[in-house]
Every structure is written in structure tokens, then in C-alpha cells.
């Protein structure tokens, strides 16, 4: 009886982990102060390579950064918009002692048909440039 109970508990734990992991694995929470813009662009490219899509998420003033990242990826032919969601969330403001509403955006981007070709071409170009820099250094 204990073995059955333990097996059921393990199944529940594994299912909970895999659901939350797959939900969060391809999400990038963007801040407009912590990292440069192209950090997020390059991270989104990497996530799309691994997961075929990426979810960009931001609150408040960082929304402009998320929109810019999405537009750069779209304009370079790397991504297509799958879904855009907007909402407001209550954030507790310690200085005021009451909740403050912040705007939130989530943009889901998927790979374009020629994503892999474009990434391979960019990698080959970087490789050539990298070799030149190594020889001159």
C-alpha cells in the first residue's frame, strides 16, 4: 500500500513540475533598467531556437522595451506574432502602503519559416568576423 501511495505522489510531483517548467521555460521577463535592449533580442533568438516560440513579458515602463524587442525580431524576419495580451496587475507599493495598478503586456512570438536559415547565415557571418578579430588581436 505504501508503494502505491509513493508512486501516486511521485506522479503528481512530476506532473506539477513539468507543467510549471514548460510554462516558464520560454518566458523572458523584461526590465527596462537592468539589461541592454539587445541582450533581450539575443536571448529571445536563443529561446526560439530551443522552444520554437518565446513569451516576452513586462510591467509598466518596460512595456516599450518588450514592444521594441518584438519589432526588431519581426522586422529582421525572425519572428511572427502569435498572441498579444494586456492586463493590469496590483503591485504592493511599500512606500504608500497600498496596492498600485501597473500595466502588463505579454507577447508570444513564434519562429518564421526561414528562422533557421537566417540564424545560420548570421552565425556564419559572425564566424568570419570573429576569425578576423582573433588574428589581429
Radius of gyration of the chain (CA): 20
| Joined grid coordinates for residue 28 | 523572458
Over residues 13-36, mean pLDDT: 66
First to last CA, the chain: 68
Instruction: Show the domains of the chain with their CATH numbers.
Output: 27-122 (3.30.110.20)
Higher pLDDT, 124 or 106: 106
Give every CB contact of residue 92 below 8 A, 6+ residues apart in sequence. 98, 99, 100
Give every CB contact of residue 59 below 8 A, 6+ residues apart in sequence. 89, 91, 102, 103, 104
Residue 5 has pLDDT above 90, yes or no: no
Task: Check residue 24 and give its pLDDT.
Answer: 64
SS in 3 state form for 12-24? HHHHHHHHHHHHH
Longest Cα–Cα distance of the chain, Å, equals 70
Question: In sequence order, what E strands does the chain have?
Answer: 27-30, 53-59, 79-93, 98-111
pLDDT in tens, 107-137: 999 999 999 999 999 888 887 775 544 444 3
pTM for the structure as a whole: 0.73
Amino acid at each position: 500500500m505504501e508503494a502505491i501511495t509513493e508512486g501516486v505522489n511521485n506522479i503528481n510531483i512530476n506532473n506539477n513540475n513539468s507543467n510549471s517548467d514548460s510554462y516558464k521555460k520560454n518566458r523572458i521577463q523584461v526590465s527596462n533598467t537592468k539589461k541592454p535592449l539587445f541582450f533581450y533580442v539575443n536571448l529571445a533568438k536563443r529561446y526560439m531556437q530551443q522552444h520554437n516560440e518565446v513569451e516576452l513579458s513586462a510591467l509598466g515602463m518596460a512595456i516599450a522595451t518588450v514592444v521594441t524587442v518584438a519589432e526588431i525580431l519581426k522586422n529582421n524576419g525572425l519572428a511572427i506574432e502569435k498572441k498579444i495580451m494586456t492586463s493590469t496587475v496590483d503591485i504592493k507599493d511599500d512606500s504608500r502602503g497600498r496596492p498600485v495598478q501597473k500595466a502588463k503586456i505579454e507577447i508570444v512570438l513564434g519562429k518564421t519559416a526561414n528562422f533557421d536559415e537566417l540564424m545560420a547565415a548570421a552565425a556564419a557571418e559572425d564566424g568570419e568576423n570573429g576569425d578576423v578579430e582573433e588574428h589581429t588581436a
